[in-house]
Amino acid sequence: MDTKGIVLKPEFEKAIFDLGFSEFTEIQEKCIPLIQQGKDLIGQSFTGSGKTAAFGFPTLEKVIPGRGIQLLVLVPTRELCIQVAKEFRKFSKYRRTYITGIYGGESINPQISDLRRADVVVGTPGRLLDHLSRGTFNTSGIKILVLDEADKMFEMGFIDDVRRIISRVPGNCQKLLFGATLPPEIMGIAKNYLNNPERVKMQTYVDKSKIVQHYYDVEKEDKFSLLVHILNKELGGLAIVFCGARHIVDAVNKNLNKQNIKSQALHGGMTQNRRKQVIDAFHSQQLDVLVASDVAARGLDIKNVTLIINYNIPKTSQEYVHRIGRTARAGEEGKVISLLSWDDYGNFRRVLEDKYILIHKMETPHFEHVEFVKQQRYGRPSYGRFSRYRRR
Q: Is residue 4 part of a domain?
A: no
List, in sequence order, every beta strand (DSSP E) within 46-197. Answer: 71-74, 99-102, 120-123, 144-147, 174-179
Domain limit, last residue, from 201, 228, 247: 201
Quick one: 137 and 269 in the same domain?
Answer: no
258, pLDDT greater than 60: yes
Per the model's pLDDT, the better-predicted residue between 255 and 381 turns out to be 255
Same domain, 296 and 164: no
Closest C-alpha to 57, from 1, 134, 102: 1
Distance CA 180, CA 184 (A): 13
Calculate the alpha carbon distances from 10 to 7, 14, 57, 93, 314 in Å: 9, 6, 12, 12, 43
Q: Is the pTM of this model over 0.75?
A: no
Q: Rounded mean pLDDT of 303-308?
A: 82
173 with 245, same domain: the answer is no
More confident residue, 81 or 181: 81
Classify strands 373-374 and 382-383 as parallel, antiparallel or unpaired. Answer: antiparallel
Q: What is the pLDDT of residue 237?
A: 79
Tell whether 139 and 175 lie within a shared domain.
yes
* 249 plus 171 within the same structural domain: no
Position 252 pLDDT exceeds 90: yes
pLDDT at 254 over 70: yes
181 shares its domain with 243: no
In a domain, 193, yes or no: yes
Count up the domains in the chain and report the number.
Answer: 2
Indicate if 363 and 339 belong to the same structural domain: yes
Last residue of a domain, one of 201, 226, 244: 201
Judge whether 2 lies within some domain.
Answer: no
In this structure, which long-range contacts are made by residues 23-26, counting pairs with CB atoms below 8 Å and at least 24 apart in sequence?
24/50, 25/49, 25/50, 25/53, 25/54, 26/202, 26/203
Closest to 112 (Cα-Cα) out of 130, 136, 128, 82: 136
For residue 370, give its domain range. Answer: 208-390
Summary mean pLDDT of the chain: 86
Residue 380 has pLDDT above 50, yes or no: no
CATH number where 61 lies: 3.40.50.300
Give mean pLDDT, residues 66-78.
95
Least confident of 223-232, 332-341, 371-380: 371-380
Residues 116 and 19 in one domain: yes
My answer on whether 153 and 279 are in the same domain is no
* 121 and 195, same domain (yes or no): yes
3-class SS of residue 219? coil
Q: How confident is the model at residue 139 (pLDDT cuts 50, 70, 90)?
A: very high
Classify strands 238-242 and 174-179 as parallel, antiparallel or unpaired.
Answer: unpaired
Q: Are residues 146 and 73 in contact, defined by beta-carbon separation less than 8 angstroms?
A: yes
Q: 137 and 59, same structural domain? A: yes
The per-residue pLDDT for 92 is 96
Binned at pLDDT 50, 70 and 90, residue 206 comes out as low
